[in-house]
Chain A
Amino acid sequence: MADDLLIPITADVDVVTARQRGRDLAAEAGFSSGDQTVIAAAISEIARNILMYAKRGEIALSVVANGDRQGVVVVARDQGPGIRDVPRAMQDGYSTSGGLGLGLPGARRLMDDFDVVSDAGKGTTVTMKKWRRMNA
C-alpha cells in the first residue's frame, strides 16, 4: 500500500497542515462534512502527540478500498521514547505531559479502526481508519 501523502511533523503549523490535508483527502474520497471534521480532529490529536512526546515524526495519509467500503487511513510514526504502558495511555484522562489526556482515547472514539504499536526507546506508530460505504 503506497502512502499517498506524507506530512512531516516538526512544529505546530504541521499539525494544522496535517489535519487540513486529511480533511481534503476525506472530501475527495466522498466522506460527509461531518466525517471530514471527525477525521481532521483525530489527526490533530495524534499529530500533537508526536510533537509533545517525540518532538518530530510524520503522518501518512492514504485512501483504501475494501469490498464496497472505502477508507481513509492515517498512519502516525515517530522515533520518540515510545509509550511504556499502551493500555494505560488509551484510558481517558491519563497523561504524562500535563495535557487533557484525551489524545489517544479521543482519537480512537472518532475513528473506526485504531491500532497502536509502541516500543520503548524506539518509537510509536498509530494506525487509524475511517470507513464509508461506497454506494452510500
Chain B
Amino acid sequence: MEVPILKQGHYLIASIQSALTDADLSQLREALIERVGRFRARGVIVDVTALDVMDSFAVRTLRDIAHMARLRGAETVIVGIQPEVAFAMVQLGLTLKGVSTALDLEEGLAFLNVQTQLRIDRGPGRLDRG
C-alpha cells in the first residue's frame, strides 16, 4: 500500500498508515527522493507512529532515505517511534545512528525549522554533520 506524501511549505511529510511490505518501503524511498527535487524540499518527515514493528529492512530503508535526502539537500527526521518498537529495535541491534528522530510530528517540525534555518545561516552544502 502506497504511503501518502504531503507537501507543507518547504517540507515533505510521509505519514505511514499501516504495516508496509519491503516493496512498499522501497517505493516510499524512491518517491521521497524524487519529490525532494520536484518540490525543492528542505526537509522530510517520516511519521512511523502507525508502525507496530520495525525490523532491519525498515530501519535500513529509513536510514537510506535520510542519507539520500541529505545528498539532495534536505534534512530528514523520523517521528513517532513507539516505546515497544524502540525496545525491540535496540534488542535487535538497530539504532538509526546518524538519523535524526523526534517524539512526534510537532517536535519533528520544530526540529526541521531549526535545522533548515541553520542551513540558511551557514550556507548550503555542509555534509560534516551527523
In the complex, chain A residues whose CB is within 8 Å of the CB of B87: 34, 37-38
In the complex, chain B residues whose CB is within 8 Å of the CB of A19: 53, 55
Interchain nearest-CB distance for A116 vs B (Å):
17
CB <8 Å contact, B56 and A103: yes
A70 within 8 A of B: no
Chain A: interface size category: 20 to 34
In the complex, chain B residues whose CB is within 8 Å of the CB of A41: 53-55, 88-89, 91-92
B2 within 8 A of A: no
Closest residue of chain A to B20, judged by CB?
A: A16
Q: State which residues 54-77 of B face A: CB under 8 Å.
A: 54-57, 59-60
In the complex, chain B residues whose CB is within 8 Å of the CB of A20: 19
CB <8 Å contact, A16 and B93: no
Bound Cα distance A12, B21 (Å): 6
CB <8 Å contact, A106 and B84: no
Bound Cα distance A91, B123 (Å): 43
Interchain nearest-CB distance for A63 vs B (Å):
20
With A38-B88, A109-B93 known as contacts, the answer to whether A12 contacts B22 (CB < 8 A) is: yes
State how many residues of chain B have any CB contact under 8 Å with chain A.
23
CB <8 Å contact, B21 and A44: no
B→A interface (CB under 8 Å): 19-23, 52-57, 59-60, 83-85, 87-89, 91-94
CB <8 Å contact, A45 and B19: no
In the complex, chain B residues whose CB is within 8 Å of the CB of A37: 52-53, 84-85, 87-88
Interface SS majority for chain B: helix
In the complex, chain A residues whose CB is within 8 Å of the CB of B23: 12
Of the residues B19, B83, B88, B89, contact of A16 by C-beta under 8 Å: B19
A→B interface (CB under 8 Å): 12-13, 15-16, 19-20, 23, 33-34, 36-38, 40-41, 44-45, 48, 92, 99-100, 102-103, 105-107, 109-110
- A sample of 4 more A-B contacts (CB under 8 A), given A33-B84, A34-B88, A37-B53, is A36-B84, A44-B55, A48-B22, A106-B56
In the complex, chain A residues whose CB is within 8 Å of the CB of B57: 44, 48, 99
In the complex, chain B residues whose CB is within 8 Å of the CB of A106: 56, 91-94
CB <8 Å contact, A110 and B19: no
CB <8 Å contact, A45 and B21: no
Closest residue of chain B to A109, judged by CB?
A: B91
In the complex, chain A residues whose CB is within 8 Å of the CB of B60: 99-100
Interface centre among A12, A107, A109 (most CB of B within 10 A): A12
Closest residue of chain B to A103, judged by CB?
A: B56
